[in-house]
Structure 1
């Protein structure tokens, strides 16, 4: 029978303590508190009203902001003034069992151990209290059966209406007897094939998937124990051979959320496959047969590819917005484009495109980058402008630009500037012959680089963020780098071992390799001596498209670059535009 005291009725469901109590949920303390609300996430009645009022205005504003982003089954906000880390807002009128799945998924993703929730849907949604109680217990049972609950140890339902307490307690009592016989199967589910070890590897922290994988039982009869053993071994070998696992490792897996969960669940529902996901290792495994496995693999890789592109675009948009701001004029006032559109305009402008199509207040406009006007389908035009957020003085030793926006200046052998660059090159490349050294004078690129440096110096609390490194390239890439620097279209051109970025070497001999500085038809090779903002760095890996977080607890605080060896770096990888300036171009031969 469920144990109880004056205030709390509880029972064990596998490793989880399930509690029901009469009280005020706003006074509870847990890692997560659940708010049962409306489809618009703005219910101002009953328990939901009490939660929002006690959590504070910031939570209510965040809830409203997240709700505007589009259709969602639930949203997550900070805990505000409540005694919790996060509030999960679910729709009271939705499927209660599915809502509990969402809540438990969020708890597991954050490694939370406790969750407190109201009797979801028994208020404004007028759901049957007994069905709600059963759905909650079903969700916990299924989550244990699927191997989801690694962190969650306590689920507490706080009842606001006294008459509902008896309903929930009755459901607990009815379930207690069936759970007693169910617990062994919950623990053993998916761990045995024919009462022997499973070909499926066990995971410490698998993804929760709605589809259950049912066991298949075989009865083998034979003349002797040896014959039976051989048959069982043959069947197991056949299953293992046919169930070819597909494994994919990518840092983006750590960013999976509701959208990705839904996609994986759809794959399992539509295909004969089983999926296992390890967040800690950022690894996903799929088990299945033939075409189903191939179809799942293609869908997962396409999904992760989209995530990588979106993540890269968001990072680039954030960075570009530090230096460049595109604006449109409406009602005699210039207004800034959003960061993604700002990136789109800047990318088109740098590529010297004449026109690009953007959205202004959900309406399409064609922006003419030569006349700086945006025109809609009806012919209405708005002025557009490009602003540099800060202007940096160009180096005093640069030659007169003569009103040019870019120039290349050949240095004279024997001069101090030439000798400094040549000396650094010759430290490891003395067997090569320098043909010429040129200074790249690009004020726009220099301004963005210096602005980025100032931001990094402030963020890291010191000015030791810059190194002078080498980068080998081919003759065809020189005009692009001189004009645009080492931007995203250039990233990953010659190497990806430590991440898909641009690689810079500590020693010139590394960049002198023909793989990187490929000779032209006349035997000339090209290498840049580059100012690089290495900042704070860590060891990279092939899956990175942006630097990894410094701490899992703060996923937005990223390293500045990555390297091959933190203690003794030989190379650095940069992922962002404007984090490296191609100061000198060395042309040399064997």
Structure 2
């Protein structure tokens, strides 16, 4: 669940919500069509007229995705739930690995956010539990308004045992799954296996010699044993896999475990086994801490710096958070991974990335957001005080070819060069009009 703008998404499939009649109303539909371009809007209107229905695929246009799926929720919770299931199935059928879904009918549709949240989340749960998904790996619900986001959060905690919440506006993708530690099931710690006993037979000439031997053996054993207590707050920071690995180690080392009423876990046994359990536990805690610090650093950088890669159709695509962080820190020895899971080697001097598997070369670009302005992906960087910037459009780009073609329809003169004007105030004015 992402609190952000769906026009910033780079998933394989982007879902648009519309009634297939009023395309100019404020909301998700108008924003997506504005980002995709007039060709997509014309295609949508044509298809909607010829083949009326509740789901229509169109080309992405300028939108950095593989396709746009336009759906109509018909202001019905049951219909929204069914459509959500169909969206998941469409992704699987068309081999899409990621999808961005808005709050269908929660904006211009007028339905209550809680009603929409329950319908969409039930649809996702039914679709993902009834069928084993081979392709789809990333389902992103994009929520632009805070009250809608909070409604989805509340519903998610009831419908799903675990949930992921993001404040950024782009895919987390394949680099890491940030789970809430509160969702970890610690009940496994209470499962105590049958105790393993060892029997000793003492034989002696007198009762005293037998008792002395037993006492000496107990002392020797106790000297080789120790006990360690893991506090509940430490256990709460573990993820589910961490808990399983810890319990497996405890059982392998033949340690005895005991839970107290406060939720603390005590393990006891031979010193070597207890030491191994403590070292493994501390390693997990340190690893989780490092991941948490790295996650926060990536999140912070993602709001300020934007690294992009040129797509096959000539549009700029934003790279995921991990790739964004590695490029900024010049940690590129092992390459970077884009939103589609493709690995690229990088040459920062030429600002180019290469896919060695297919010998494909792509351009890279770095944008730095200003304190009061977020750079569109297709712009070049601007200085803090710079209001207008004219950027030359490369003759090899799709934008240059499209503009030259349109110019030639009404003018016979030769095109010498094409420039793009970046007007900050005009861009903000147009964006405010859309909302």
User: Do they fold alike, i.e. is TM over 0.5?
Assistant: no
Please tell me whether Structure 1 or Structure 2 has the larger radius of gyration of its CA atoms: 1
TM-score normalised to structure 1 length: 0.30
- Larger strand share, 1 or 2: 1
The answer to which structure, 1 or 2, has the higher relative contact order (CA under 8 A, 6+ apart) is 2
- Larger helix share, 1 or 2: 2
TM-score normalised to structure 2 length: 0.39
